[in-house]
Amino acid sequence: MSNEPIALDQALASFDALWSPRIVTRVNDYEARVAKVHGEHVWHVHENTDEFFLVLDGELRIGLRDPEGERSVTLPTGSVFTVPRGTEHRPYAPEGASILMFEPTGTSSVGDRHEEVPAHVDTTTGHSLTP
């Protein structure tokens, strides 16, 4: 990890892979990851951790399934949302978006229970940024 400031726009410009997060920094046992997203991700759940989303650019939607039923939240640029642990969810961005996620180191972007990982996803736990 760098001991210098990290420009998120430059971090995002350093890769093109969709739904394949890059680790920008670590905070104790957590990672801040950025990702470019477009289209639908997979339905998945994180049994032991919440998942924090910050939309840096574009609009992200998150489908949620819980005991009360299914719903969707819409996050425009600058919005944050935390998916509670144990909640099945599916992020999607019909027009594309750039996001920052904050979650425990090693957390899979397809959760503990998920559909098959799409072929275009090159990492589910994040790559470190290249200098």
CATH classification of the domain holding 53: 2.60.120.10
Contact 88, 64 (CB under 8 A): yes
Tell me, yes or no, whether 3 lies in a domain.
no
Tell me, yes or no, whether 23 lies in a domain.
yes
Tell me, yes or no, whether 110 lies in a domain.
yes
Bridge partners, 127 (sequence order):
22
Separation of alpha carbons 14 and 69, rounded Å: 39
Contact 92, 40 (CB under 8 A): yes
- The pLDDT assigned to 119 comes to 57
Tell me, yes or no, whether 51 lies in a domain.
yes
How much is the pTM? 0.84
| Domain residue limits at 83 | 8-125
Separation of alpha carbons 59 and 38, rounded Å: 10
Per-residue pLDDT tens digits for 110-122:
554 555 655 555 4
Chain mean pLDDT for the chain: 86
Tell me, yes or no, whether 2 lies in a domain.
no
Number of domains in the chain: 1
Cα dihedral sign, 79-40-111-57: negative
Distances (CA, A) of 13 to 16, 35, 98: 7, 10, 10
Per-residue pLDDT tens digits for 46-90:
888 999 999 999 999 999 998 889 999 999 999 999 999 999 999
Tell me, yes or no, whether 88 lies in a domain.
yes
Tell me, yes or no, whether 130 lies in a domain.
no
Tell me, yes or no, whether 90 lies in a domain.
yes
